[in-house]
Structure 1
């Protein structure tokens, strides 16, 4: 599974093509799942290509983002029945891939190749940076094995709590990129200027504008190879530079070998494939001292690393090599020698070894789970499955705050879900959730009452009130909840786990890392015990303002409807997605003023806290016993009377 593929060519696509070539050469069968695009091939190196629905990435007309559902990918895996799923630079499509692989019991190997969080910072999307980083962490934690391309990226992932890390770099085509392809006349005039060249995408994260620091150096000519959304802006900023556009194949190899000094100013590179290609071409490299270049450039041997952000240091390093042809040749020879042992054949053989290790680790993981509790078929419940007794556990979100019915009673997503489930022939429903409750309450009094009701389906949405405290033990909370899930599963009930979520507010971002950590632990709990996981992170529209009530901390009626239909879709309710879309068209949400929010919600909350009270003090569950939804049969009346 790859986030990028032909006809769009970049580092991710190039790596995937090399892997496919090696798999074909070594007798393995492969399937590629990639975003659909015009002119996407149907087979490459013996591998079948399965395009999935995609949308264009803003700013990149030719770059597509896969939007396939986890269910459709799961169906593809069921047809192909792979031994391992390889996730190339996973993010959007990769998340659905790792989820589908987990549901199908297939080991997944995730190759970390793009620092998405750094990209969002570079594009000044600070609001999404925390989300991007937490999403990446959760994805790689869920994978069986994660492959890091460099020492720095390995340290970054480890610091974020990603385990089972292995180093896996990238190969280089040392035959195509070779010093013999150098053309002494390429882009040269009678002035004899030294060519300082950049090769890569022209985008904000590449920091190509930093070449302004060297374009005025005496005897230097700047040549830029590549294309992208920043090209017109860069041409205005670098009027003296030569822009050659996109090159590939032999034309690119000739250009790379003909450069005198290769520069790469980007600070978000997890590896740096073009640096290897420059070395293979016998060209010295100057790059920023951060990320992948730290592993590829040896200071004073085959290039220079300058201090990140220090353009004076950058200029000095370029001037040093521009004025010393002997040093350039010595650095170039050393770079060529360094990459000769990094062939794609060697690198791909290492990858096959990682695949085999992932299969072994996956087998160990499965053997550690209790066979009696493991029911993987519940991960993606079949359409048509029917429950007769449903109990909802949780806090104010499940109680239904900010979702009043016409008679003034509270509804909420769980009540709405019960209505959807009852369409299959009636349902007995109890809602034990009470506002302000925490994990200990669900695992205590709510669990005790739920077991007395002997449900066959239990939903649990809890944790938000615990996670926003000043000090919290996320692991301890997950351990308590796992004991509850285990108990309910031993009783024979199906358990629906919903990951807690936050509104899209600046203050809420302080807790995003905790919520992501807790959600990752819930995913592992669901996998260990055969529970049904509703991962709200898969629905980034849920935190949007219209889905939240006037107090900005509880779901609005629209938000409760949205969540109910998403859960219903997960539980196999027929046409849940279509029903949800129709429901949204029929409703509207009124906006509230900031003053009203302070008066009605913020100040009363502060007053309660000062007095050591919470909103749920003295309240009981609204449905402490079963209520019947639907037309009761004789047998159902007997069940209700038990």
Structure 2
């Protein structure tokens, strides 16, 4: 239970009361209900957030989310907490032609700084920008968060705050018995998660305030450390319902020190309870606290200012009453009914905008804030790294060899004036091979463009460490970028087969990690989730685990389009029209592929053992090479 979940529950109640149908897709967790307010809850596979095990992150890929949406047939997809699962949700909404509305709930970039992973801050900002640009509309809870989004180039931002339950949170809930149990003349309260991003440790500045006692409501990974830091404070743990309302109303002053709040729901609840608020002068509190009217805002990071503001209210009962009444009066117009009515209006506007976007795409017009395409360069030395997919299995060339997507991409690039091309990919190779000898050899060739498609062979193993694999890939990309080479990074993908579904979570997690690598290193990313046609059966070979010639052509043209090759999309459509897919027999698949694979596994062998790369050194592809390929492709 957190602020996002609380908002969702209020929205579901409002939708049910007004005759709308809803369906919730959420990360699976212990105790998750199957239904709330008559709305079905679909729990999807999830992973625990490192260091915060009661927070789950959904790992299902876009195909599963899209399939769920197709069954429900929504008019609007509401992304309640759009970061990990939200990205798959916005892609899925796009696939089925439905408007998506993303609520900016969490300043993830600020969280990365607070958790001392500053290297991830740029990734988070890039991902936030990409996701919210992709959504039909973004809802910002405060003026400060709207400015953050604007700085990231996000357009179509609308203001949407949060409601407050003024029936539950009200001054009459004040409980003298609680106050007596806490044993203090003045009670300074905090309600929220006990986690680094909330900066609860800053409350140590109030420890020896005369006649005052800290009462802390909430739980989280920082609780043990905070109990040691604040030995005189009362820690009540997690409270909800009437117990939370009674505790809140029994405070004399409410303090919230977190600097990364996009809104600050507990500040509204304190005001509804008739309690004055002191918060940092950054983020959501700027919209919720009126200086000298219903509370104080202190300078971010200035704990002396924090202490002075709290002492001011702790020592003046009349001012506390005046501030508390002003706060209570201010929130009476912010009912959840009013806020949810505003949300329905945003949904209607998003549906209209989605139709506008669909018409624009049909005319090949993009939104003005869309990320610009990669500026086409005149690459002269291209090296392809990877495994069987890049080697070209199941894509036979006229000369009896193999010709995969990278070979086809090289010919498209060569048509612009010649290209030196090497392909170091060998079947059955893994991430360690790419980050090891393949990159070593590539560096010797001094390329200006390198493609990397790797990871599938690692991800289908019995045990896999996705983070470790991603770290190896990042090391390879960093080495290549250090010599000035552009890196084309392709996320691994799966066929649309029931047997492949068991690996979906791993592939989705790895793809998310590669997105971060691209953001950090400046690599060019092909997120294959954006090209769902790759998963379709005709794009896979007779072994059902490698791309067919059609699939290799599809990937090659998508890569060429991303690299800015002129008319790549039109060429791909024309090429596809000139080829027909041949049916494949199941018996042939078992005889030619499944049984030999089982035999190799039983004997500890791999298909690539003893093989060498087909182009270990550069071959030159000129205009004539590209022309000949066009005639026989």
Which TM-score applies when normalising by structure 2?
0.67
The SS at the match of 1:155 is: helix
Deviation readout 1:377-436 (Å, 9 max, x if unpaired):
xxxxxxxxxxxxxxxx998799434x4xxxxxxxx579627424569x99976836569x
The question of 1:419 aligning with 2:393 is answered yes
- Offset at residue 540 of structure 1 (A): 3.9
Question: Where do 1:424-439 residues align within 5 Å?
Answer: 431=407
**Does the aligned pair in 2 maintain the 1:420–1:568 contact within 8 Å?**
no
- Offset at residue 62 of structure 1 (A): 2.2
- Offset at residue 89 of structure 1 (A): 1.7
The question of 1:24 aligning with 2:16 is answered yes
Residue of structure 1 equivalent to 2:38: 46
Kindly tell me: are residues 507 and 318 of structure 1, through their superposed partners in 2, closer, same or farther at Cα, counting changes over 3 Å?
farther
Question: Where do 1:181-220 residues align within 5 Å?
Answer: 181-188=173-180, 192-220=184-212
Residue of structure 1 equivalent to 2:131: 139
**Does the aligned pair in 2 maintain the 1:503–1:543 contact within 8 Å?**
no
Residue of structure 1 equivalent to 2:271: 279
The question of 1:539 aligning with 2:511 is answered yes
- Offset at residue 156 of structure 1 (A): 0.8
**Does the aligned pair in 2 maintain the 1:207–1:265 contact within 8 Å?**
yes
The question of 1:290 aligning with 2:282 is answered yes
Rounded Cα–Cα distance in structure 1 between residues aligned with 2:345 and 2:480: 40
Rounded Cα–Cα distance in structure 2 between residues aligned with 1:506 and 1:314: 45
**Does the aligned pair in 2 maintain the 1:119–1:268 contact within 8 Å?**
yes
**Count of residue pairs brought into register by the alignment:** 483
Q: List gaps (5 residues or longer) in structure 1.
A: 1-8, 375-392, 404-411, 448-501, 520-534, 590-614, 629-638
Kindly tell me: are residues 83 and 566 of structure 1, through their superposed partners in 2, closer, same or farther at Cα, counting changes over 3 Å?
closer
Rounded Cα–Cα distance in structure 2 between residues aligned with 1:508 and 1:112: 35
Residue of structure 2 equivalent to 1:599: none
**Does the aligned pair in 1 maintain the 2:394–2:402 contact within 8 Å?**
no
Deviation readout 1:158-185 (Å, 9 max, x if unpaired):
0110000000000000000000111123
Rounded Cα–Cα distance in structure 2 between residues aligned with 1:171 and 1:163: 24
Deviation readout 1:212-271 (Å, 9 max, x if unpaired):
001111111001000000000000001111101010000000000000000000000000
Residue of structure 2 equivalent to 1:4: none
Deviation readout 1:244-300 (Å, 9 max, x if unpaired):
101000000000000000000000000000000000000000000000000000000
- Aligned pair partner of 1:400 in 376, 383, 386: 383
**Does the aligned pair in 2 maintain the 1:223–1:242 contact within 8 Å?**
yes
Kindly tell me: are residues 415 and 77 of structure 1, through their superposed partners in 2, closer, same or farther at Cα, counting changes over 3 Å?
closer
- Aligned pair partner of 2:146 in 141, 148, 154: 154
**Does the aligned pair in 1 maintain the 2:188–2:214 contact within 8 Å?**
yes
- Offset at residue 508 of structure 1 (A): 9.4
Question: Where do 1:71-82 residues align within 5 Å?
Answer: 71-82=63-74
Kindly tell me: are residues 145 and 397 of structure 1, through their superposed partners in 2, closer, same or farther at Cα, counting changes over 3 Å?
farther
Kindly tell me: are residues 508 and 182 of structure 1, through their superposed partners in 2, closer, same or farther at Cα, counting changes over 3 Å?
farther
**Does the aligned pair in 1 maintain the 2:123–2:516 contact within 8 Å?**
no
Deviation readout 1:530-558 (Å, 9 max, x if unpaired):
xxxxx99971444899x9xxxx9999xxx
**Does the aligned pair in 2 maintain the 1:181–1:258 contact within 8 Å?**
yes
The SS at the match of 2:53 is: strand
Deviation readout 1:66-114 (Å, 9 max, x if unpaired):
0011000010111111000000121110000000111111100000000
Kindly tell me: are residues 278 and 64 of structure 1, through their superposed partners in 2, closer, same or farther at Cα, counting changes over 3 Å?
same
- Offset at residue 366 of structure 1 (A): 1.3
Deviation readout 1:294-340 (Å, 9 max, x if unpaired):
00000000000000000000000000000000000000000000000
Rounded Cα–Cα distance in structure 2 between residues aligned with 1:75 and 1:426: 38
Q: List gaps (5 residues or longer) in structure 2.
A: 366-375, 420-472, 491-506, 548-592, 610-616
